[in-house]
Amino acid sequence: MKKSPLAMQSTSQTQKNKPLHEKEALVKLLRWHFGHAQFRDKQLDAIQAVLSGRDCFCLMPTGGGKSMCYQIPALAKPGIVLVVSPLIALMENQVIGLKEKGIAGEFLSSTQTMQVKTKIYEDLDSGKPSLRLLYVTPELTATPGFMSKLKKIHSRGLLNLVAIDEAHCISSWGHDFRPSYRKLSSLRNYLPDVPILALTATAAPKVQKDVMESLCLQNPLVLKSSFNRPNLFYEVRYKDLLDDAYADLCSVLKSNGDTCAIVYCLERTTCDELSAYLSAGGISCAAYHAGLNDKARSSVLDDWISSRKQVVVATVAFGLILFQALHVYLRFDDFLSFFCFEHPGSCTGIDRKDVRLVCHFNIPKSMEAFYQESGRAGRDQLPSKSLLYYGMDDRRRMEFILSKNQSKNSQSFSTRERKKILESFGEQIPVSLCKNSCDACKHPNLLAKYLGELTSAVLQKNHFSQIFISSQDRTDGGQYSEFWNRDDEASGSEEDISDCDDGIEAVKKVANSKLSTKAGLNERINFLQHAEESYYRNKISDKQVNKPSKNAVSDVLRQGSKEKLLNALRQAQQRLRNLTIEFEASAIFLENECYNKYGKSGKSFYYSQVASTIRWLSTANSIELTNRLGIDTDSPSVNFISKEEPPAAPSPSLEQRPAQITGKELDGSCGSENSIGAFQTESESPSTSLPVIPSFSEFVNRRKVKDNQPNTSCKESPKKNFDKRMRLQ
């Protein structure tokens, strides 16, 4: 609704030594032009400071009302306020808003026609410009032509203020550095007595200092509102614990009813896929990213702003690179295309007041970006929500991108988001300030449960992507263990432990696999052992265990393992000669055992059990083997060719384990001593049930017992012992 500007107080007011503009006159302007009853926190202080000619640095939360701090001064006295803004779209957005209120505002940018620009310049040169606010990009202020026009306006005493919006872009410490903003430091040289107002919503203390120094602010009034957005509820959901994050988001949007929402994604492809999925689920939504042509983008924006579309699924460019802005930042395109996501930028100013939900479907690149983007919600100060989907894969990807981009590490978004956000801007707050407006405060137990499950899931997925097979002294004397990461393991299913022609050789081959981690062997053994124990302690809920994940043991893998076990059994028969068993049935039996014990816990454990079994087969003597396979002779899967009841092997007492190999065993006779690797859990004596292959923990514990035994004989190192067996083969 257009209104004529209120009659401005003449400068004669200053003769009465009254502050140039008293509060009630300014409140009148606020009510008359913008319809707001009162100034918000710090707005009046900033306005009065700049009207009195003082520099001001103003830190206000997203949606806090920073624009008012320069729009009111433009109405309070004749002349022009110059506003420097990083985005053409933001400038256009504000100028449209001003014109609707009858306030003469314009913006200058490379996207305008010469005709429009000429008209603006003529007004500026007229000596009595009608313009009150002129928005420009930092690039334009750096051009000599524009600066000479500005100096002319200034020489006529018509330049009242230079406002720099999104001032954090000046600082390279900021999350949104714009090199062109650095040029603004020359403004002070050319316009020494014009007050400068720097405004931002996201600036940590270091950035604040950098901004004030770069702009050469003189004794500025520093106003810092709390970054807190009390009307925002922060929630984190963990993708690694969800069956389907897409479906989860769809149900969240549906439960929100027909409210307006923004969903931020890292990449265009995710935008398109997610938008299509949500549309198919009945959500009125559209994708928005720089891959759309200008026409498509402006229609998506119009539909969303006019509520024809409920949800926009956008790359972080949404508040940043709208169709016009692209022309200004074109040079960034090559940078963008490399990361195939939009210009990482402060998602400023898209001023739709009633955004009730902002969802980050991928983790944002920094806390500042998260704050800016989540700040698009609830700009009318009504209760709104910020929902972040946190996934380990997303985090790894973001860290890769940031490492390429030499930026700060991506933040870990876990709990107490509000507290973390405010602290990242240097604002210490008591947890009580949150007043249950984040999931950590509102549902602490639920969150603790999720984090526990997430830890186990991540351990199983990420740290168990390494498989521990056994430890041998390295041929070069160093210590190593057979850790290899999941990729090897996956590729290893063709050429790993027993695909070589000799099981022992195969174990050696695996044993020589290079380390994939830097930690020492013992630390890794301990780590893996604790992880295995804690895994079984906080067993992931059935839903998770049964969840088909890429770590599941597939039939193909099981078939491969059975073949390996079959090979190992054949090699044992060659070694022991007098062993007559049904190989196929025995291999199936042993593989079943591995699967029954570890199949549900994922590939890592299952593989290590198969490997342990193969290692055992390569060292067990006939008695142990027949015991292992023969006690349960009724079992359909195990039939012995030899009919006589195999003698039950005496259960080796603990101190004998692991026994040394004796010459007798090596010639295949069934010595009563144990052979290396013949572990049995003390709870099982051969007569009652099969000797079990030690679990990883048992294997480690036995190793520790052995390592701690007094060195009564010059024990052969497993390596030497290993070679001896090789020679005797």
Ligand X SMILES: Nc1ncnc2c1ncn2[C@@H]1O[C@H](COP(=O)(O)OP(=O)(O)OP(=O)(O)O)[C@@H](O)[C@H]1O
Binding site for ligand X (CB under 6 A): 36, 39-40, 43, 60, 62-68, 201, 348-349, 351, 353, 375, 379
Q: How many CB atoms lie within 10 A of CB 249?
A: 26
Tokens found for residue 392 = 């380990």
> Which of these segments, 252-260, 347-355, 421-429, 444-452, binds Mg ion (CB under 5 A)?
347-355
The single residue among 61, 79, 129, 349 that binds Mg ion, judged by CB under 5 A, is 349
Q: Which does 201 bind (CB under 5 to 8 A by kind): Mg ion, ligand X, none?
A: ligand X
**Exposed/middle/buried for residue 398 (C-beta within 10 Å: 0-12, 13-18, 19+):** buried
Nearest to ligand X of 222, 648 (CB atom): 222
Partners of 84 in the β-ladder: 136, 164
Tokens found for residue 80 = 């022009």
Query: Among residue numbers 677 through 716, which ones bind Mg ion (CB under 5 A)?
Result: none
Is residue 711 within 8 Å of residue 701, measured between CB atoms?
A: no
Closest CA to 60 of 383, 417, 260, 349: 349
CB of 532 to ligand X, least distance (A): 49
Nearest to Mg ion of 344, 349 (CB atom): 349
Q: Which does 374 bind (CB under 5 to 8 A by kind): Mg ion, ligand X, none?
A: none
Q: Which does 686 bind (CB under 5 to 8 A by kind): ligand X, Mg ion, none?
A: none
Q: Which does 18 bind (CB under 5 to 8 A by kind): ligand X, Mg ion, none?
A: none
Nearest to ligand X of 324, 348 (CB atom): 348
Nearest to Mg ion of 349, 503 (CB atom): 349
Can you state the angle between helices 43-51 and 68-76, rounded to 10 degrees?
A: 40
Task: State which residue has the least CB distance to ligand X.
Answer: 65
Nearest to ligand X of 33, 297 (CB atom): 33
Partners of 471 in the β-ladder: 481
Is residue 637 within 8 Å of residue 589, measured between CB atoms?
A: yes
CB of 171 to ligand X, least distance (A): 16
Q: Which does 175 bind (CB under 5 to 8 A by kind): ligand X, Mg ion, none?
A: none
What is the distance between the alpha carbons of residues 421 and 424, in angstroms, rounded to a whole number?
5
Nearest to ligand X of 60, 253 (CB atom): 60
The phi and psi torsions of 59 (rounded to 5 degrees) equal -110, 115
Is residue 311 within 8 Å of residue 274, measured between CB atoms?
A: no
Nearest to ligand X of 214, 372 (CB atom): 372
Nearest to Mg ion of 66, 168 (CB atom): 66
Q: How many CB atoms lie within 10 A of CB 619?
A: 23
CB of 402 to ligand X, least distance (A): 23
Query: Among residue numbers 50 through 69, which ones bind Mg ion (CB under 5 A)?
Result: 66
Q: Please report where in the chains the tokens 């816990």 appear, as a residue.
A: 601
Please tell me the count of residues contacting Mg ion according to CB under 5 A.
2
Nearest to Mg ion of 253, 328 (CB atom): 328
Task: State which residue has the least CB distance to Mg ion.
Answer: 349
Q: Is 105 in the site for Mg ion (CB under 5 A)?
A: no
Q: Is 560 in the site for Mg ion (CB under 5 A)?
A: no
CB of 354 to ligand X, least distance (A): 10
What is the distance between the alpha carbons of residues 110 and 76, in angstroms, rounded to a whole number?
30
What is the distance between the alpha carbons of residues 307 and 303, in angstroms, rounded to a whole number?
6
Q: How many CA atoms lie within 13 Å of 192's alpha carbon, on the beta-carbon side?
A: 1
Q: Is 375 in the site for Mg ion (CB under 5 A)?
A: no
SS3 723: helix
> Which of these segments, 344-352, 447-455, 483-491, 538-546, binds Mg ion (CB under 5 A)?
344-352
CB of 165 to Mg ion, least distance (A): 6
Q: How far is CA 354 from CA 39, 68, 351, 374, in A?
A: 20, 19, 9, 13
Is residue 236 within 8 Å of residue 439, measured between CB atoms?
A: yes
Where along the sequence are the contacts to Mg ion (CB under 5 A)? 66, 349
